[in-house]
Amino acid sequence: MFNFEEELKKLPHTPGVYLMHNKTDEIIYVGKAIDLYNRVHQYFQSGYKRSPKIEKMVSHIAWFEYIICESEIEALVLECNLIKEHRPHYNTMLTDDKSYPYIKITVNEDFPRILFSHQMHRDHARYFGPYTNAGAVKDTIDLLKKLYHLRSCNKKLPQETGLDRPCLYYHIGQCKAPCQGYISKEDYSRQVGQAIHFLTGHHQQTVKELEEKMKRLAADMEFEQAAEVRDLIESIKHIASKQRVDNTTTDDRDVIAMATNNMNEGVISVFFIRNGKMIGREHFHMTGVQSESYGDIMAAFLKQYYASTPFLPKEIILEHEVNEQELIEQYLSERRGNLVHILTPQKGDKAKLLKLARDNAFLVLTQDTEKLKREQARTEGAAKELAELIGVPSAKRLEAFDISHISGYHSVASMVVFENGKARPNEYRKFKLRTIDGPDDYASMREVLTRRFTDERFKVYPDILMMDGGKGQVNIALEVLDELHLNIPVCGMVKDDYHRTRGLYYNNKEVEFPKNTQAFDMVTRLQDEAHRFAIEYHRSLRSKSQVHSILEDIPGIGPARRKDLMGYFKDISRIREASIEELMQAPSMNRNAAEAVYGFFHKE
């Protein structure tokens, strides 16, 4: 149980961000403070004047956590990022929120594109930034299109080569039309390399080459083209002076600290500093760290983390040197395309940042240990309460079943599993009813339970079988178990007139089920989850059936071609929008078949 009185005493008199959680651990509010102690205390002071919305928010707080920052500005930036990430129910989107855009080059594609991106993804593309000015990003992209003719369309190349005519960018000289095969992959790759060279700070070399080209054009009396090159040179100089890209400055660094406890657990905290501001942080949990040295743990982390992250900073700030530090620096520098330095400052601003990261790592480690204990007590306590309520030895593993259909069509069932009060989605199962014709829930449940308990792939039996219904469903389950000589307690989850959990049916009677218990919350979640999972499966089958029925109406399109069309285009909307030439790309499709499909969807 979260002890508010004790936790409030621990709050520091420092700037930071605080996060309020409700009883289901959802973040419901994020705020910043110049003094965490004073600000968070205000929420729990009697008589303190608050708005009705905040008053309601306070009534839902089950526990809170906080992140220490160096200044109020850092707290503001971090608050904005956390609000964008979690979208808490009681937060208003801030008007002073600021995003930091990037230039993205999709080097993972055969013919890479240059794009404007609001955030980085771990998608193997290459990102440059963040930039401080969105307009400068767009100007830079336009400039690079003129210089190196990179595409920005969504065509999948080379698969879609030649399907359409060249776009406007080809006609105005900003793209070489790889979509038409007008440029080879090798030549296009060279242009991509030149663009990347430019974005990594090598403006002067590009300017020098353009100045030489301008002189040659002027000497050949090509004054109009020379003027165009002159304008490009001016654009480069303007952008270079106006826009600072962080991957060429020392204000771009990751600050990494580690905390461990005597339970063989640890947390690595990474602070992201961009343009001199902390714009976010991540925490990584570790186990089995007790026998490892700092140098070993951190070296392994650096190699694993930066092997997959899309953006590498110029500086990585650590508390101590790591094993194979020079080798790791070399590896990271090659990945970044510029030097990466690993620093271990002992004093100054960077050392202060390290202390902040270390303090937050210890804070997260402590809070997560306590949170894990609370969660374990809550979920295991719920299972224990349920077992005591109905008088069975254990309720560690629960299996709940639900039937879904519309007038007997597409009848499906779901099996949802809870262990120690927590959902186990990887053990959920779906059943498509095979033998039932018409809306017969009892017969459907009999089939599902028989299949579940006779299938050898199900190695573990539940401690309690939870049926979505009362006496009728329970009796069906007991009959099936009796026929299979299995002795498993069966409990019915009874709902009220509003389809909400009301109580339990066990041993031929409805059991009094107090609503203010952990067991009641768990059974409600179990019942809702079983229903959701069944409905979700039912909708997917219904959607597939509707798609196939449309294709079945097209003359000359048999099962094989229907399957090939769906496999190639993935959904009916893409088939409907495809041209005849695009339809012919699908396996087994010829021109006559493609014209039949196209004509079906484009009737006048």
Query: pLDDT digits over 522-551, tens only?
Result: 999 898 888 888 777 656 665 555 444 577
Whether 76 and 22 map to the same domain: the answer is yes
Whether 110 and 242 map to the same domain: the answer is yes
Whether 487 and 563 map to the same domain: the answer is no
pLDDT on residue 255:
93
Segment 210-224 shows an average pLDDT of 87
| Domain tally, the chain | 5
Tokens at residue 468, please? Answer: 């979505």
Does 128 reside within a domain? Answer: yes
Whether 415 and 508 map to the same domain: the answer is yes
Does 93 reside within a domain? Answer: no
Strands 464-467 and 490-495: parallel
Does 306 reside within a domain? Answer: yes
* Helix, coil or strand: residue 131: coil
Q: Select the more confidently predicted residue: 86 or 459.
A: 86
- pLDDT band per the 50, 70, 90 thresholds, residue 196: confident
Task: List the domain range (segments joined by +) for residue 39.
Answer: 4-85
- Using a cut of 0.95, tell me whether the model's pTM lies above it: no
Q: For residues 316 and 343, is the Cβ–Cβ distance under 8 A?
A: yes
Does 390 reside within a domain? Answer: no
Whether 202 and 219 map to the same domain: the answer is yes
Whether 453 and 416 map to the same domain: the answer is yes
Whether 468 and 595 map to the same domain: the answer is no
Segment 413-431 shows an average pLDDT of 87
Supply the CATH number for residue 571's domain: 1.10.150.20
540-546, Cβ contacts within 8 angstroms, sequence gap of 24 or more: 541/410, 541/412, 541/432, 542/406, 542/410, 545/410
* Helix, coil or strand: residue 96: coil
Show Cβ contacts of residue 95 under 8 Å, excluding neighbours closer than 6 positions.
Answer: none
**Which residue stretches of 60-184 are H helix?**
72-86, 134-148, 168-171
Q: What percent of the chain has pLDDT over 90?
A: 28
pLDDT on residue 250:
45
Supply the CATH number for residue 308's domain: 3.30.420
DSSP state of 62: -
- pLDDT band per the 50, 70, 90 thresholds, residue 17: very high
Average pLDDT over all residues of the chain: 82
Cα–Cα distance between 143 and 174 in angstroms, integer? 9
Last residue of a domain, one of 213, 247, 281: 247
pLDDT at 121 exceeding the cut of 80 = no
Cα–Cα distance between 280 and 77 in angstroms, integer? 8
pLDDT on residue 251:
64
Whether 114 and 238 map to the same domain: the answer is yes
Whether 257 and 225 map to the same domain: the answer is no
Does 95 reside within a domain? Answer: no
Whether 113 and 226 map to the same domain: the answer is yes
Say how many C-beta atoms besides its own lie within 10 A of residue 260's C-beta: 19
Whether 422 and 490 map to the same domain: the answer is yes
Say how many C-beta atoms besides its own lie within 10 A of residue 418's C-beta: 28
For 41-62, write each residue's pLDDT tens digit: 999 988 787 778 788 899 999 9
Whether 405 and 531 map to the same domain: the answer is yes
For 57-105, write each residue's pLDDT tens digit: 999 999 999 999 888 767 776 876 787 778 788 875 433 334 457 889 9
